[in-house]
């Protein structure tokens, strides 16, 4: 039977440096910052990493010329009245930002990743751009990836 002093053995192997290495957890993502908005009494959220800026429509801008969110997602061809329209600019490659009309910007909030749920099977495949759901202030929020909206694909390639 051999009896070893593991402390001395570890000191010999490590040269006396037995400090526990520090793990850089700055890359450990626990929250995602989400911009929440409402279109036709439905709530949507987008990762702020995709958003360049959100502005009120400047005077003289014809909001009918700005692509509406519900049409970009092909949700409805019906006329939807945007009560408090904003222009959201989606970040694109080469600094290009694509405008899209949203309505009733509700909040920008840090959402824990653990609060985000996959879509129920019934909703899967309805739109490739909707990737998950969460609740905010008791409302269901569908999470949208603007880069997966086919009518906005040019923002990634600046075409």
pLDDT tens for residues 7-19? 565 565 556 555 5
Residue-level pLDDT at 73? 83
CA distances from 59 to 55, 62, 65, 136 (A): 12, 9, 14, 32
pLDDT digits (tens, 9 = 90+) for 81-92: 899 999 999 998
The tens digit of pLDDT for each residue in 19-30 reads: 544 545 555 678
Stretches in the chain below the pLDDT threshold 50: 1-2, 20-21, 23, 155-159
- Check residue 156 and give its pLDDT: 46
Q: Which pLDDT does position 97 carry in this prediction?
A: 84
Q: What is the pLDDT of residue 20?
A: 47
Buried-exposed string 113-143: b where 16+ CB fall within 10 A, e elsewhere: eeebeebeeeeeeebebbebbbebeeeebbb
Q: What pLDDT, on a 0 to 100 scale, did the predictor assign at position 58? A: 92
How confident is the model at residue 123, as a pLDDT?
A: 65
């Amino acid at each position: 039977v051999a009896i070893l002093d593991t402390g001395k053995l570890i000191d010999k192997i490590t040269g006396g440096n037995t400090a526990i290495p520090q793990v850089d957890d700055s890359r450990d993502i626990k929250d995602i910052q989400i911009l929440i908005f409402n279109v036709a009494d439905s709530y949507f959220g987008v990762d702020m990493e995709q958003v360049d800026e959100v502005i009120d429509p400047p005077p003289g801008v014809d909001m009918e010329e700005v692509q509406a969110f519900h049409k970009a997602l092909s949700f409805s061809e019906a006329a939807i009245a945007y009560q408090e329209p904003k222009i959201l600019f989606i970040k694109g490659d080469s600094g290009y930002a694509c405008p899209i009309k949203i309505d009733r910007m509700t909040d920008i909030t840090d959402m824990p990743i653990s609060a985000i749920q996959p879509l129920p099977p019934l909703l899967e495949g309805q739109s490739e751009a909707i990737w998950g759901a969460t609740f905010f202030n008791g409302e269901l929020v569908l999470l949208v990836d603007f880069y997966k909206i086919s009518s906005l694909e040019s923002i990634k390639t600046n075409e």
